[in-house]
A = this chain, B = another copy of it.
Amino acid sequence: MNAPVSAPVLTKNQSLVFDVLNRTDAPMSAYTILDKLRDHGFRAPLQVYRALDKLLEFGMVHRLESLNAFVACAHPESECCGHGHGHGSVAFAICESCGHVSEFHDHEVDHRLSDWAKRKGFKPAKTTIEIRGLCSACAA
């Protein structure tokens, strides 16, 4: 194991964006975040996107590709798998009714996908796994 990747120091804008995401359970678009931060001086999308880029890089935030939206990482500390470095990818279950997102990890899924990649000589950089549907509450 290398450097334990202690929590990075966030800049003002990064903190503001992260706090907004961290205070809600549902994913948020960059423009929604922007609107939430107008009172704090945000005027342009780029301020949000720049902060998000860093937070993604730090592994503190995930992008949901099928939604063009962002969520705070749900396993903030601890947890087994190195996340944010391309291996140990994360899966999401997204409720299309209430918007709730569950983040989970399945080692076997990872294994099968990286196995396929190895056989094909494909070098994975980032893996997206998103299940859209209805959460148990909304399905009832």
Contacts and interface: CB of A to CB of B under 8 A. Distances in A.
Interface stretch (A6-14, A71-79, A112-120): A112-120
Interface in A92-138: 93, 95-96, 102, 104, 106, 108-109, 112-113, 116-117, 120-136
Contacts of A124: 93, 131-133
A113 to B, nearest CB: 6
Contacts of A117: 93, 131, 133
A91 interface: yes
Contact of A139 (B109, B122, B136): B122
Given A91-B113, A109-B113, A126 B122 contact: no
A118 to B, nearest CB: 10
Interface of A: 65-66, 91, 93, 95-96, 102, 104, 106, 108-109, 112-113, 116-117, 120-136, 139
B116 A104 contact: yes
A131 B89 CA distance: 10
A126 B96 CA distance: 11
Contacts of A125: 96, 132-134
Ranked 4 nearest A-B pairs via Cβ:
A121-B136, A124-B133, A125-B133, A65-B65
